[in-house]
Amino acid sequence: MSDTLQLAFSKAVALPEPAREKIARELLDRIDASSRLRAEVDAGIAELDAGLGAPLDIEALIREARAEHDQG
């Protein structure tokens, strides 16, 4: 275990139970999100390796992102 993680655990142990539970839930959520992202990246890499990629129109992607941001 890394020194930083060990330090975080040792500090968390000293907190009240509700705070420990909140930290634990947040950590598990973060780990789950990271695992899902890793799986999506791996799937994308596999698709690219299989030749399923397509050229990206970066200007269109920027326009779409700006349009979505303006609506949000």
Q: Which two tokens stand for residue 50?
A: 């299989």
Supply angle C-alpha 25, 31, 34, rounded to 5.
140
Tell me what pLDDT residue 18 has. 97
pTM above the 0.75 mark? no
Tell me what pLDDT residue 71 has. 79
pLDDT at residue 72 is higher than 80: no
Q: Which of 51, 68, 52 is nearest to 60 (CA)?
A: 68
Average pLDDT over all residues of the chain: 95
CA-to-CA dists, residue 24 to 6, 12, 30, 36, 48, angstroms: 14, 9, 10, 18, 36
Mean pLDDT along residues 18-33 = 97
Q: Is residue 43 within 8 Å of residue 52, measured between CB atoms?
A: no
Mean pLDDT along residues 22-36 = 97
What is the rounded distance in angstroms from the CA atom of residue 1 to the CA atom of residue 7? Answer: 10
